[in-house]
C-alpha cells in the first residue's frame, strides 16, 4: 500500500525527515477498529531514484523506517450463525490485542514542497480480526449467553407459530378451492343453460326465417302476423325487414301498416328534377317537408294529419288525409299532394306536387 501526501517545504528541510506528517499519515492509513498508540521513526539512507545514481550529501530525498504500535479500540467478533433476526456471535480477539505495523517512508522535496510515499510492509497484521458487534448484521447475541438461550426460545415459538399459520393458510386455501369449484360448477350450469337458450333462440329465429322466406304464402303471412303480434322486438324487426324485402304486396302492406302505426311524423327528403330548371330554386326556398301522423287505421290504411313545408304559402303545413294501399301511400293537403311507393331499398319514393310550384322528387326512409 502506498500513498503520496503533501508536506510543507522549508529551506532546511532537505536534511530533515518530516516525521510529524508521516505519523499523521500512518494514523490515517490504519482502518478502524484499530487505533495507533505509538509511531517510531528511524532514519535510513534514501534510495536513489530509478535510472539515476545514488544521491549525494544535501540531496532532496530522505527516508525512514516506520514502526507503528496498533491496538484494537473495541472487542471484535465472528459470526457463529444467523437465524431469523438474530446473529449469534463469538469473540474473535481480546479487546487489548496489540500489533506492530511496519512501513518505509521516502520524502522528496519538489518545487511545491515535500511529498512522502509510504510503503506498508505487513498490512496483513490488521486483517482477520473480525468486526465490532455494532458492524455485524441483525440483532447480535453472544453465543452461550442467557440472551442467546432466550433468542433460541423465541425462535422456537416463532417456528411453532409459523407452522400453525401455515396450517391455517392451507385450510383457507382448501376452503377457497372448494368455493371456487362450487362457483365454477354454478357458472358451468349457467353457461349450459344460456347455451340451451341460445340454441332454442337460434332454432326459433331459423324457423321464422324459413317460414318468412318459404314458398307457402299463407305460412309466410301467418308467421309475420305471429311475430308482429308478439312482444319480441328482435323477431318483430326481422319479420318487418323480411316482409318489406319480400315483394309480396300483402306482406309489404302489413309491414308498412305496422310501421306507420308506430310513427308520429315522417320527414320527407326532397330533390329537384332535371326537367324543370326552377325546381332547384323552389327546393332551396321550400324548407323541410314533414308529414305529421295524427291518426292511422291499420285495418283500412286511412291516415289523417298535417303535411307541408314553411317556404311557400301554398305548401305551408295544413290538414291532410291519405291512405296506404298495398305498398303505395297517397296524401293530399291544401293545394299539395304527396305520393310514395315502396322500393327494394326500404325507401318509399315518389313525387311532391303543389298547384303553383314545380314538381319535386320525394323520398321517405322506412327505418
| Rounded-to-integer distance, Cα 151 and Cα 277, Å | 108
Q: What is the pLDDT of residue 166?
A: 93
Q: Note the pTM of the prediction, 2 decimals.
A: 0.46
How do the pLDDT tens digits run along the chain, 367 residues long? 444 444 443 333 444 677 888 888 888 888 888 889 999 988 888 877 665 554 444 457 888 899 999 998 888 899 989 988 999 989 988 777 889 999 998 888 777 777 888 899 999 988 888 888 888 898 999 888 888 899 888 989 988 999 999 999 999 999 999 999 999 999 999 999 989 888 888 887 888 777 777 777 788 788 887 877 777 888 878 887 887 777 788 888 888 998 999 899 999 999 999 888 899 999 999 999 999 999 999 999 999 999 999 999 998 999 999 999 999 999 999 999 999 999 988 899 999 999 999 999 999 999 8
Where b means 16+ CB within 10 Å and e means fewer, 195-227 reads: eeeeeeeeeeeeebeebbeeeeeeebbebbeeb
Q: What is the pLDDT of residue 185?
A: 92
Q: What is the pLDDT of residue 55?
A: 46
Q: What is the pLDDT of residue 58?
A: 45
**pLDDT tens digits for range 218-236:** 887 888 878 777 778 888 7
CA atoms within 13 A on the CB side of 82: 7
Query: Which residues make beta-bridge pairs with 107?
Result: 62, 116
Backbone φ and ψ of 138, nearest 5°: 75, -170
Task: For residue 45, give every residue at least 6 positions away whose Cβ sits within 8 Å of its Cβ, in sequence order, or none.
Answer: 63
Percent of the chain with pLDDT over 90: 43
Q: What is the pLDDT of residue 62?
A: 85
Instruction: With beta carbons less than 8 A apart as the criterion, state whether 17 and 40 touch.
Output: no
Q: What is the pLDDT of residue 51?
A: 52
Helices (H), the chain: 19-29, 146-213, 217-229, 233-245, 249-261, 279-286
| Rounded-to-integer distance, Cα 334 and Cα 307, Å | 9
Closest residue by Cα to residue 66 from 123, 148, 145? 123
| Rounded-to-integer distance, Cα 24 and Cα 33, Å | 17
Q: What is the pLDDT of residue 8?
A: 41
Give the DSSP letter of residue 68: E
Q: What is the pLDDT of residue 5?
A: 45
Amino acid at each position: 500500500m502506498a500513498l503520496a501526501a503533501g508536506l510543507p517545504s522549508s529551506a532546511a528541510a532537505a536534511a530533515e525527515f518530516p516525521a510529524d506528517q508521516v505519523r499523521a499519515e500512518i494514523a490515517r492509513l490504519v482502518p478502524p477498529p484499530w487505533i495507533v498508540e505509538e509511531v517510531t521513526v528511524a532514519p535510513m539512507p534514501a534510495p536513489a531514484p530509478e535510472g539515476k545514481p545514488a544521491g549525494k550529501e544535501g540531496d532532496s530525498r530522505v527516508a525512514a523506517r516506520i514502526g507503528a504500535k496498533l491496538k484494537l479500540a473495541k472487542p471484535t467478533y465472528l459470526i457463529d450463525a444467523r437465524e431469523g433476526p438474530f446473529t449469534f456471535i463469538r469473540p474473535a480477539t481480546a479487546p487489548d490485542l496489540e500489533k506492530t505495523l511496519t512501513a518505509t517512508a521516502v520524502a522528496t522535496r519538489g518545487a511545491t514542497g515535500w511529498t512522502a510515499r509510504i510503503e506498508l510492509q505487513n498490512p496483513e497484521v490488521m486483517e482477520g480480526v473480525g468486526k465490532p458487534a455494532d458492524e455485524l448484521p441483525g440483532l447480535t447475541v453472544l453465543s452461550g449467553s442467557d440472551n442467546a438461550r432466550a433468542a433460541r426460545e423465541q425462535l422456537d415459538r416463532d417456528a411453532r407459530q409459523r407452522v400453525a399459520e401455515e396450517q391455517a393458510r392451507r385450510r383457507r386455501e382448501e376452503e377457497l378451492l372448494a368455493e371456487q369449484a362450487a362457483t365454477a360448477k354454478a357458472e358451468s350450469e349457467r353457461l349450459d343453460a344460456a347455451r340451451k337458450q341460445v340454441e332454442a333462440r337460434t332454432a326459433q329465429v331459423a324457423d321464422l326465417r324459413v317460414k318468412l322466406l318459404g314458398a307457402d304464402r299463407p305460412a309466410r303471412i301467418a308467421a309475420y302476423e305471429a311475430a308482429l303480434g308478439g312482444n319480441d322486438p328482435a323477431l318483430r324487426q326481422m319479420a318487418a325487414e323480411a316482409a318489406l324485402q319480400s315483394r309480396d304486396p300483402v306482406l309489404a302492406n302489413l309491414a308498412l301498416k305496422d310501421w306507420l302505426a308506430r310513427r308520429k311524423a315522417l320527414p320527407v327528403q326532397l330533390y329537384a328534377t332535371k326537367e324543370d330548371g326552377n325546381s332547384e330554386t323552389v327546393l332551396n326556398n321550400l324548407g323541410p317537408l314533414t308529414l305529421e301522423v295524427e291518426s292511422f287505421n291499420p285495418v283500412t290504411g286511412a291516415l289523417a294529419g298535417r303535411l307541408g313545408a314553411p317556404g311557400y304559402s301554398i305548401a305551408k303545413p295544413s290538414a291532410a288525409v291519405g291512405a296506404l294501399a298495398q305498398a303505395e301511400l297517397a296524401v293530399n293537403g291544401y293545394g299539395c299532394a304527396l305520393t310514395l311507393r315502396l322500393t327494394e331499398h326500404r325507401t318509399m319514393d315518389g313525387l311532391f306536387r303543389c298547384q303553383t310550384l314545380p314538381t319535386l322528387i320525394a323520398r321517405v326512409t322506412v327505418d
